[in-house]
Chains A and B, each alone.
Chain A
Amino acid sequence: MTAEEIKQALLLRLKTIAPDTEPAQLQPDDNIREKLGIDSFDYLQFIVALDEQFGIQTPEEDYGKIQTLQELTEYVGARVKG
């Protein structure tokens, strides 16, 4: 998967979690949760969905490392298989 494919998948997933927001307008270094108003419950659902979609495991202590689209794309890219 290319970084762009991962990014598009992430945006789609965010749109599912927060349908009334515009994830596509996120800048690479925007804080995703602040920008889109995603609460801790929705964030957990988002992580669950990511883990399922990409077949990765995201430990809780990593949450702080994946606050922006850029970080998240790189994080997933480093872990996703194939």
Chain B
Amino acid sequence: MLEYRMPSLGADMESGFLREWHVKPGDKIKKGDIIAEVETQKGIIDIEVFDDGTIGELLVQVDEKVPVGTLMAMIIPPGEDGEIKETPQKSAAPATTPTAAEEAWIATEPPPMAEKAAAAEHHVRASPLAKRIAEEKGIDIATIHGTGPEGAIIREDVEHAITARVAPVPEAPKEAAPAPPPASPPAPVAAEKPAPPAQAPAAPAEEEKARQATGASAETIRMAVAAAMSKSNREIPHYYLETRIDMRRAMAWLAETNKQRPVKERLLPAVLLLKAVAKALNEVPDLNAWWENGLQRKPAINIGYVVALRTGGIMVPAIHDADNKSLDELMQTLNDLIPRARALRLRSSELADSTITVTSLGEGGVETVFGVIYPPQVALVGFGGITDQPWTENGMLDVRPVLTATLAADHRATDGSTGSRFLTAIKNYLQQPEKL
């Protein structure tokens, strides 16, 4: 039996709420399958498995809060006793009845990283879901009569309290609860289960709707970014390098390539930059790493690509194995990832696997960006807008499209000479776009 635990969702998230299981005991699964949906500060995250096998048992119930690392399911590896496959073991089960299951969470100490919002909830026995609904609706949970095990307050109790309220109470929640989801006035509680997400990547138009459906808001995303960036600034001694890159060849090659393509297959300059970064990391692997009790180089090059949300905040989905993807494949990946990032529909691996971050401001903006590293990564590459600038070469003055590339790197992990080799490698790759 393999234990399946709630995966990490990046340095800035400690837990989520299980919203849906996509599997049941006995279901066959393959590595990478999505087995559950978890609601987080960054929207609904599709939770993937890391092994092949058969689902033995589901140990977390829908709407439970799931801290990272929680045992969620047992998985029977392929080839293990078929009998077990058909009859999931009961021994490790926390519950055979819903009541016992609910007792399980009541007995559990709040996880050490419990929500900051929990301040008002101490000494009140209530299910995480009940607390959350009460918080969202601005109801003081202490005033609700509990009918759950040992008098604990469960979801039904909160629902009763909501429906019992004759007049809507316009006052704000007492505790400045972080980010009550916008646009959810006394909504029917049945709406707590997010609307079924669009399977196809949602169009950008869906961003607002998606935010409402996923429970994430500009504020929760802001808080997630704030947590990660504060940690970075507290712990990581950054050093910064900068170089200017002549993009004439790269832009000419791109224009020529795009001219022969229908608009749907055109490439953006960003894919050249991503590929150049991936190739340069092959030469300077110390920057494709995490800092966890020392430098841990990572075998796969997974580039976290910063996607700005128009209403504020960023999402940084990972482009897996970027060094093995062609330019077209990188563009396809962006076409898939960016709308999903904006719709807050990413997978767990896309939030947790990045080994370096790239931020590209695109044209029309400023020339230079000095980034803040996303821990536990050790480097961030920043690309400004490409602008026409004076350029000298062989003693001659010319005007060229110039890109400023910067590196923010962790000085615990590497030194300036490493960073310099890396930026120089990026620069060199961008002089030979046809070989990218």
Closest partner residue, chain B, to A15 (CB atom): B205
Say whether, besides A19-B207, A40-B362, A58 and B308 are in contact (CB < 8 Å): no
The reply to whether A47 and B255 contact each other, CB–CB distance below 8 Å, is: no
A1-39 contact mask (Cβ, 8 Å, vs B): 1 or 0: 000000000000001111111000000000001100101
The reply to whether B263 and A58 contact each other, CB–CB distance below 8 Å, is: yes
The reply to whether A60 and B207 contact each other, CB–CB distance below 8 Å, is: no
The reply to whether A40 and B270 contact each other, CB–CB distance below 8 Å, is: yes
Instruction: Tally A residues with Cβ within 8 Å of B.
Output: 24
A33-58 contact mask (Cβ, 8 Å, vs B): 1 or 0: 11001011110110110010000011
Residues of chain A with a CB closer than 8 A to B364's CB: 33-34
Q: Would you call the interface of chain A mostly helix, strand, loop, or mixed? A: helix
The answer, yes or no, to whether B334 is at the interface (CB within 8 Å) is yes
The reply to whether B208 and A20 contact each other, CB–CB distance below 8 Å, is: yes
Closest partner residue, chain A, to B264 (CB atom): A48
Residues of chain A with a CB closer than 8 A to B186's CB: none
> Which of A17, A34, A41, A42 has the most CB atoms of chain B within a 10 A radius of its CB?
A41
A53, B264: Cα distance in complex, Å: 13
A45, B334: Cα distance in complex, Å: 12
Residues of chain A with a CB closer than 8 A to B204's CB: 16-19, 42, 45
The answer, yes or no, to whether B203 is at the interface (CB within 8 Å) is yes
Say whether, besides A34-B364, A44-B268, A20 and B203 are in contact (CB < 8 Å): no
Within the complex, which residue of A19, A39, A47, A57 is in contact with B208, where a contact is CB–CB below 8 Å?
A19
The chain B residues found within 8 Å of chain A, CB to CB, are 203-205, 207-208, 255, 258-259, 262-264, 266, 268-270, 308, 310-311, 334, 338, 362-364
Show 23 residue pairs from A and B whose CB-CB distance is below 8 angstroms, ordered by the A residue: A16-B205, A17-B204, A18-B204, A19-B204, A20-B207, A20-B310, A20-B311, A21-B310, A34-B364, A37-B310, A39-B308, A40-B269, A40-B270, A40-B362, A40-B363, A41-B270, A41-B338, A42-B204, A48-B264, A58-B263, A60-B255, A60-B259, A61-B255
